[in-house]
Amino acid sequence: MAAKQVTPCLVILVLISLLASPLSAAPLNRRRKSLNTVKELNRKGPYLGLITVYPPEENAFFATGAFEPHPRHPFVDLSGRRFRIGKIHGKRVIYVRCGVGMVNAAAATQQMLDLFDVIGIVHFGIAGNANNSMSIGDVTIPSQVAHTGIWDWLKPNETLAPSHVAHLDFGNYNAPKGKEINQLGRIGYSHEQFFSESGEPNTARPLFWAQISQHWLQLAANLEAMELIQCVNSSLCLPQKPKLVVGLRASTANIFVDNAAYRDFLIRTFQISSVDMESAAVVTSLSNGFPVIVIRGLSDLAGGQPGKNSIQVFGPLAALNAAKAVIQFIKSLPGNAS
């Protein structure tokens, strides 16, 4: 039996019917319902925005027991993310887990600021330790965060541009050092192009160090004496009590740093104390005119340790210490209570 010929008109009709089907309408209906819920919630605002990154940090946050879900709208689902609505110490909050990396962090932050009535952003999670005066389990609340992943990857011996903040020559790390030129060349570190409410529209200014909101840093300084958790369990404890330090520098890039040489380069070049993959992207909320603060628990030595990275062992403890600091910070904030 001969096969029937399918005409172009028939194909178009089938596609139109699929696009008009209830299956394609379902996501639009869900989004419309979620946006209506957002409007209702905003009438009861404003809220403090809380953003963390991945499940172990989320688990630590909820393990504190401080989050009280909204009785009617405990969450709103948007663009594949779940924004949880509730209170902490009587303060209205909206919490979201953004996902790993700068794209996820920037997208979730901007979505929160655009859709919800938010007074500011508290970003928290874990980070690698790049400061020899700090230890695993400590909590850092940096005063400055840099995006150290904007590179111009140059040819060997190519001249660096005057705009480069710093540079890394790969040939300096040849082992053993030989006469051959390292074909990886060098990278020059560049500024962000920073757009903000306070600047001229469509006009960027160069930015390397993003400053954390000073009034929130001053409040956070009162947390430096708080008690943090020292033990993972009854048989595994850190050698000393963890501490909270305010005012250091943080580095962010889409790079999980587990390399001693690169860690040392970052310390020497930028005097940073922690490395992570999201904080600088979240701090872009500064461009919208909102206050922001970053709270990170140190889970590992970013390659400075012998053997395997300790994130699997001490990551949950570092996440819990960061979450405890977040809860105390929220408690110290004035206002925003019903």
Q: Average the pLDDT over 266-279 and give the result.
A: 97
Distance CA 235, CA 63 (A): 21
**pLDDT-derived band at 280, boundaries 50, 70, 90:** very high
**Tens digit of each residue's pLDDT (9 = 90 or more) over 187-239:** 999 999 999 888 889 999 999 999 999 999 999 999 999 999 999 999 999 99
**Tens digit of each residue's pLDDT (9 = 90 or more) over 40-98:** 999 999 999 999 999 999 999 999 999 999 999 999 999 999 999 999 999 999 999 99
**Residue 5 scores a pLDDT above 80:** no
Q: Give the chain's mean pLDDT.
A: 91
**Residue 176 scores a pLDDT above 80:** no
How many other CB atoms sit within 10 Å of the CB of residue 256? Answer: 17
Backbone region of residue 68 per phi and psi (left: phi > 0; alpha: psi in -120 to 50; beta: other values): beta
**pLDDT-derived band at 286, boundaries 50, 70, 90:** confident
**Residue 109 scores a pLDDT above 50:** yes
Domain boundaries, the chain: 28-150+191-332
At residue 311, the 3 state secondary structure works out as helix
**Residue 30 scores a pLDDT above 80:** yes
Which pLDDT value is given to residue 20?
A: 55
Which pLDDT value is given to residue 80?
A: 94
Q: How far from 13 is each of 18, 20, 197, 318, 336, CA to CA, in Å?
A: 9, 11, 47, 57, 54
**Residue 338 scores a pLDDT above 50:** no
Q: How far from 155 is each of 160, 171, 262, CA to CA, in Å?
A: 10, 12, 19
Query: Is there a contact between 67 and 100 (Cβ–Cβ < 8 Å)?
Result: no
Q: Average the pLDDT over 110-137 and give the result.
A: 96
**pLDDT-derived band at 297, boundaries 50, 70, 90:** very high
How many other CB atoms sit within 10 Å of the CB of residue 3? Answer: 5
Specify the CATH architecture of the domain 28-150+191-332: 3-Layer(aba) Sandwich (3.40)
Which pLDDT value is given to residue 337?
A: 44
